[in-house]
Amino acid sequence: MLVTLLEIKEFLKIKLDNDAEDGRLRSINSYVSSLIESYCGRAISSNNYTEYFNGGVSSVFIKNPPINSVHEVSHYTGNSYTTLGGPGSLGQQIEVEGSSHTVNVYGNAKTSKRVKKFGISSLQLSATGDYLSIPSSEDFNFGSEPFTLEAYVRPSTLNNSVFISRNDDNENNWQLSYDSTGGVFFSAKSSNVETAYISGNTLSLNTFTHVALVKDDAELRLYQNGTQVGSAVSHSNSMPTLSSAVSIGQISQTDTKNFTGYMDDVKVSWAAEYSSNFNNSLQAASSDENTKLLLPFNEGANKIDISDFSRKVNEYIWYPDTGEVSFDTGRGSGTPSLGFFNPRKFNNFTNGVRVSYNGGYSSVPNDLKLASLEMIKILYKGREGAKSVSLQGDNSSSHDLSLDGFPPQVRRVLNLYRLPM
């Protein structure tokens, strides 16, 4: 609905405690909202959408602008959809520093399409010796600066296990792990002195839980499914400077404490990503200037060639107001192809471009609300000429609407939001 029952009553000067006409008002409200969206050829209120477009073009236009965020743009390669690296949260180009990391696979670690949180697959670790290793890098030396470690974890057992770790030896390391008695925890050691420790809650078997360790300038916080667990821990110490690889699913000690189950969306950021409780995202994580490791595990079934998406960016760009998603931005550089006859294009397959995004207005614009209320008032009063409002055409595009019984300003407002046919 574009307006609420309370707004309708206030506009029509109906007493709020008078509910005799509520049923009729709701019906008219629903009717008017449907008429407006059909006439404008779009949904007005914001929501998540996935749309498919034919390839062979440089740009596509989504059906429900404005764009609030783009979760994924993929195009078909002949065998599967390949996810493109996106821009920043506002559609802006991302400044790329460094390069993507090599991901080494050990044991029988592999991706699985059978169980996943997002996308088409997740990481499956089914036995001792299954883990991933990312070579040592300055990206994982946090010092005293803010950082975030996060992942979706789905354990098949609740034994002592490690999600993400870095271990030079038993005296110098850090780990985001699980203790079968105490639950999720993060710890860091330097010269065998524990310099950081925070603990959270237990996990549930065979259920994905988002776990996030956040370090800002003054404290450590631990979140599970968007809710801070336990108390924040004051912490201004520097994280230990290490030279070892980062491990996903174990720690390189005598007791490796292997994680068994599934993981998705493993991310390391040089920022305190969360400062208070938050709602779990309904979409996969994306990369930005602070992202230093991003493993979405979208390679498909039984794959061991796993990609780091932390620097796979700027392969497309989007424009909030127009709803345009453009591939012609230069691979990773933000520089469009030169010349008029050779723009970069999405692969030329029918329905070969897939765009998942959030579009529409988070709050209905005031002029559109007023137009809705004017239409509701006229239909409610039964003014001659507005008793039989009709649409021409089907529901797949914007329609002609008989507005003879409505004031001219109603049509003017609706035309502002109407998409070209």
DSSP 9: H
The ranges assigned to domains in the chain are 5-44+363-417, 47-80+317-359, 97-295
pLDDT at residue 398 in the model: 47
Taking each continuous run of H as one helix and of E as one strand, the counts in the chain are 4, 25
pLDDT at residue 89 in the model: 85
pLDDT at residue 337 in the model: 47
Q: How many CB atoms are closer than 10 A to CB 208? A: 23
Cα 269 from Cα 216, distance rounded (Å):
12
Both tokens assigned to 163: 């999600």
Instruction: Going from the first residue of the chain to its last (421 residues), give the mean pLDDT of each consecutive group of 10, the final group possibly shorter.
Output: 93 89 92 90 92 94 93 90 88 89 98 93 95 97 96 97 97 97 95 95 97 96 96 91 97 94 98 94 86 95 95 91 82 46 80 95 94 92 56 44 72 88 63
Whole-Å CA distances, 139 to 101, 188, 242, 410: 10, 17, 11, 56
Whole-Å CA distances, 49 to 73, 251, 335: 12, 40, 28
Dump the DSSP string for 129-182.
T-EEEE---GGG--TTS-EEEEEEEEESS-SSEEEEEEEEETTEEEEEEEETTT
Cα 335 from Cα 346, distance rounded (Å):
16
Instruction: Look up tokens 């933000």; give the residue.
Output: 334
pLDDT at residue 343 in the model: 66
pLDDT at residue 229 in the model: 96
Nearest CA among 356, 351, 405, 349 for reference residue 380? 405
Residue 407: asked if its preceding bond is cis (omega within 30°), the reply is no
Contacts of residues 166-171 at CB distance under 8 Å and 24 or more positions apart, as own/partner, are: 166/140, 166/242, 166/244, 166/245, 166/246, 166/247, 167/242, 167/244, 167/247, 167/251, 167/252, 167/253, 168/240, 168/242, 168/243, 168/244, 170/253
Cα 60 from Cα 57, distance rounded (Å):
7
**Spatial contact of 256 and 178, defined as CB atoms under 8 Å apart:** no
Whole-Å CA distances, 62 to 33, 86, 266: 21, 16, 29
**Spatial contact of 197 and 210, defined as CB atoms under 8 Å apart:** no
Q: What are phi and psi of 47, to 5 degrees?
A: -165, 170
Q: Model-level pTM? A: 0.80
Whole-Å CA distances, 136 to 47, 140, 249: 41, 7, 16
Alpha helices per DSSP H over 162-287: none
Q: How many CB atoms are closer than 10 A to CB 81? A: 20
Whole-Å CA distances, 209 to 116, 162, 266: 12, 14, 12
**Spatial contact of 119 and 297, defined as CB atoms under 8 Å apart:** yes
CATH number 2.60.120.200 given to 97-295: yes
pLDDT at residue 342 in the model: 59
